[in-house]
């Protein structure tokens, strides 16, 4: 049993458990000297986090501690030797409704708050938060969720960006990074994409590999750099960074201009009122059955997030990220069952999940793109696609009802075939369902594999200058569907009947935003970002972009609230609402929103295409 003088034994114990395994020897020794070892009798309340905000974290050395809700007595977690608790109240700076008490004779280590905050801001600490925070340990218990910070990351970037040319030497890059106190440098490549050079690249690809300092930076950087647009929230970006093992995330405008670079510690600091409680056991799922048990809880987690105060837009984005994780894990498990290649192809998510606008009712649209030299592996890849969707079906994520799945011939092609198809759609958009397929693929986002294999967006850039007639046809198609006037009368007068929030209200906005984005050379993006880009390009007015954006947010809130209620009642979530069941306020908002959509669409139809 350790005492305050047994520093070596205490240090060794800490070293064996996360998040301390990656700590430097000096840091760990320093932490051990500040730690206090205490013994407790059975049933002792160690801390009541509903009553105070702590400035320390507890670690179990021997025995067990139970964490129990102070509101209803529900057991949240049981912490055994090597486990820690109390870190979420410490990091959020707010009390949480649970207490911690010993189950039997127990010895605990009290760790001071200051060094623990520092440790949680490091990659190992961040990964621990994402993988362990509030996980209750079994597949049956619910995950406790809290409201999240929905600030866009564009508001969080700070400082100048170090942007270098690809022929810059490592020596010059390191000098510039040192002079500007930058932990990374971005490299603009000839094809317009970005590379990134970090301290990790310097250690692993230069020093460890014995490369000379006059080596060009484009030979030792990471490329392409994973990037995000400025509209995504801190929650979503941090989750992506943790899932991908990244410490830096370049933030871009929808047109690809660099705004800044976020670091993982920046996002942790930004999360003052959030916790990383969405943590799913996806990464640890070793079998298909394990993954499907986790997957069937995802819709419920979205409901908890929304009910606990998270905005509908943030809930949709978080749900989309979780679905991405499920898809990646399902693909990993499917690949393990076969001898199909694990690289050389890209898996694309399409539709609302790709736009990060998923709802609990969302199905999974997908596509495959592979390198031109993988022709021999095509049958295997299509079989893998079938298996992936079988796994996802068991997760409660059904395949697209219209057959937009990676196992179908229309949605599984080589990178050259996709590019040729896209060029054909641009030249002859009415052939071979060109308008429909292009709309799906323009939304597409790579969730596995090389992003450069998604070649359709490349063809659709500069559409306004190079294919104005096809862009006009996109506009006509976006304006072709009409708001159901009968349902509108129901909203405004009789208040009876039903209304499909998605097909008759959301889809017209999404389609118009997609067209508007294309006028500004913006392909895959969220609907609000596309509307903003459309206004900047002159396709629609600033006022109309704001109006449609506001209506879209309102509709997403109505959809989320309706579907969460359906989930709570044990029903399958959907978008058809009964007018009489809506509150008077929501009926009024819906009616006003439908009128605004119709008015904007009339103005866009009258205004026509902006001149090049």
Distance of alpha carbon 126 from alpha carbon 298, whole angstroms:
22
Q: Which pLDDT band, with edges at 50, 70 and 90, does 25 fall under?
A: confident
Q: Which pLDDT band, with edges at 50, 70 and 90, does 242 fall under?
A: low
Nearest residue to 318 (alpha-carbon basis) of 432, 237, 426: 237
pLDDT tens figures, 53-109: 778 999 999 988 888 877 766 666 678 888 898 887 776 565 677 889 998 889 999
Q: Which pLDDT band, with edges at 50, 70 and 90, does 200 fall under?
A: confident
Tokens 């970005």 sit on residue: 194
Looking at per-residue pLDDT, the higher value among 311 and 338 belongs to 338
Which residues are within 8 A (CB) of 232 and not within 5 positions of it... i.e. 6 or more apart? Answer: 152, 153, 317, 356
Please report the pLDDT score of residue 163 as a whole number: 93
Worst-scoring range by mean pLDDT, 311-315, 361-365, 525-529, 575-579?
311-315
Q: Does residue 559 have a pLDDT over 60? A: yes
Q: Does residue 256 have a pLDDT over 50? A: yes
Q: Does residue 274 have a pLDDT over 90? A: no
The two three-digit tokens of residue 176, written as one number: 């510039």
Give the 3-state secondary structure of 24-72. CHHHHHHHHHHCEEEEECCCCEEEECCCCCCCEEEEEEECCEEEEECCC
Residue 568: cis peptide before it, omega within 30 degrees of 0: no
Please report the pLDDT score of residue 481 as a whole number: 66
Give me the percent of the chain exceeding a pLDDT of 90: 39
pLDDT tens figures, 582-609: 888 888 889 999 999 999 998 988 665 4
Q: Which pLDDT band, with edges at 50, 70 and 90, does 273 fall under?
A: very low
Please report the pLDDT score of residue 17 as a whole number: 84
The two three-digit tokens of residue 252, written as one number: 């871009």
Q: Does residue 129 have a pLDDT over 70? A: no
Integer angstrom CA distances of residue 569 from 142, 359, 572: 16, 17, 9
Give the 3-state secondary structure of 353-383. HHCCCCCCCCCEEEEEEECHHHHHHHHHHHH
Q: Which pLDDT band, with edges at 50, 70 and 90, does 557 fall under?
A: very high
Give the 3-state secondary structure of 242-264. HHHCCCEEEEECCCCCEEEEEEH
Longest dimension (CA), the chain: 82
Which residues are within 8 A (CB) of 611 and not within 5 positions of it... i.e. 6 or more apart? Answer: none
Mean of the per-residue pLDDT values for the chain? 83
* Contact indicator for 399, 392 with CB cutoff of 8 Å: yes
Please report the pLDDT score of residue 393 as a whole number: 96
Looking at per-residue pLDDT, the higher value among 218 and 156 belongs to 218
Q: Does residue 473 have a pLDDT over 60? A: yes
Q: What 3-state DSSP class applies to 147?
A: coil
Q: Does residue 485 have a pLDDT over 60? A: no
| DSSP track, 1-22 | ---TT-HHHHHHHHHTSTTSTT
Please report the pLDDT score of residue 140 as a whole number: 32
Please report the pLDDT score of residue 95 as a whole number: 61
The two three-digit tokens of residue 50, written as one number: 């509903």
Count of residues in the chain: 612
Q: Please state the rounded mean pLDDT for residues 358-370.
A: 95
Distance of alpha carbon 432 from alpha carbon 505, whole angstroms:
27
Q: Please state the rounded mean pLDDT for residues 248-273.
A: 73
The two three-digit tokens of residue 409, written as one number: 């011939």
pTM flag (> 0.75): no
Q: Which pLDDT band, with edges at 50, 70 and 90, does 131 fall under?
A: very low
Integer angstrom CA distances of residue 55 from 60, 88, 92, 96, 268: 17, 11, 11, 14, 17
């Amino acid at each position: 049993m350790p005492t305050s003088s047994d520093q070596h034994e205490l240090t060794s114990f800490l070293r064996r458990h996360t998040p301390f395994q990656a700590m430097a020897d000096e840091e760990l020794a320093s932490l051990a000297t500040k730690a206090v070892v205490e013994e407790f009798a059975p049933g002792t309340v160690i801390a009541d986090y509903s009553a105070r905000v702590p400035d320390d974290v507890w670690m179990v050395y021997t025995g067990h501690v139970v964490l129990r809700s102070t509101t209803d007595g529900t057991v949240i977690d049981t912490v055994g030797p090597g486990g820690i608790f109390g870190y979420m109240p410490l990091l959020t700076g707010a009390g949480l409704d649970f207490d911690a008490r010993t189950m039997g004779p127990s010895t605990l280590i009290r760790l001071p708050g200051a060094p623990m905050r520092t440790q949680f801001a490091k990659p190992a600490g961040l990964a621990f938060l994402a993988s362990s925070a509030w996980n209750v340990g079994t597949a049956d218990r619910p995950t406790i969720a809290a409201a999240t910070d929905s600030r866009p990351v564009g508001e969080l970037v700070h400082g100048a960006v170090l942007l270098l040319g690809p022929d810059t030497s490592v020596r010059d890059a390191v000098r510039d990074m040192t002079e500007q106190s930058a932990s990374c440098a971005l490299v603009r490549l000839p094809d317009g994409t970005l590379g990134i050079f970090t301290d990790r690249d310097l250690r692993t690809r230069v020093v460890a590999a014995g490369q000379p300092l006059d080596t060009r930076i484009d030979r030792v950087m990471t490329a392409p750099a994973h990037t995000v647009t400025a509209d995504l929230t801190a929650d979503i970006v941090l989750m992506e960074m943790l899932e991908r093992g990244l410490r830096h995330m370049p933030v871009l405008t929808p047109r690809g201009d660099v705004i800044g670079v976020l670091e993982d510690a920046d996002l942790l600091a930004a999360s003052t009122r959030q916790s990383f409680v969405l943590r799913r056991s996806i990464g640890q799922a070793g079998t298909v059955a394990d993954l499907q048990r986790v997957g069937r809880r995802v819709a419920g987690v979205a409901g908890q997030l929304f009910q606990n105060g998270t905005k509908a837009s943030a809930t949709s984005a978080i749900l989309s990220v979780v679905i991405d994780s499920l898809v990646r894990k399902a693909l990993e498990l499917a690949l393990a069952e076969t001898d199909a290649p694990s690289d050389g192809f890209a898996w694309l998510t399409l539709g609302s999940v790709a736009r990060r606008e998923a709802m609990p009712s969302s199905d999974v649209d997908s596509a495959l793109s592979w390198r031109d030299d993988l022709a021999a592996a095509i049958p295997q890849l299509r079989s893998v696609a079938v298996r992936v969707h079988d796994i996802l079906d068991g997760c409660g994520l059904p395949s697209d009802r219209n057959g937009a799945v990676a196992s179908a011939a229309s949605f599984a092609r080589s990178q050259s075939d996709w590019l040729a198809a896209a060029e054909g759609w641009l030249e002859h958009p009415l052939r071979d369902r060109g308008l429909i397929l292009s709309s799906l693929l323009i939304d597409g986002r790579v969730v596995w594999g090389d992003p450069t294999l998604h070649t359709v967006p490349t063809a659709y850039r500069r559409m306004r200058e190079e294919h104005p007639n096809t862009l006009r046809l996109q506009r006509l198609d976006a304006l072709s569907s009409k708001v159901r006037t009968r349902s509108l009368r129901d909203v405004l007068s009789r208040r009876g009947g039903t209304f499909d929030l998605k097909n008759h209200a959301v889809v017209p906005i999404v389609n118009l935003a997609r067209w508007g984005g294309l006028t500004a050379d913006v392909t895959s993006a969220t609907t609000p970002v596309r509307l903003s880009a459309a206004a900047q390009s002159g396709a629609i007015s600033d006022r109309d972009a704001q109006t449609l954006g506001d209506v879209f947010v309102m509709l997403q809130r109505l959809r989320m609230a309706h579907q969460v209620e359906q989930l709570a009642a044990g029903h399958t979530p959907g978008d058809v609402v009964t007018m009489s069941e809506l509150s008077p306020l929501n009926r009024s908002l819906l009616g006003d929103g439908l009128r605004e959509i119709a008015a904007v669409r009339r103005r866009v139809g009258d205004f026509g295409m902006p001149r090049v």
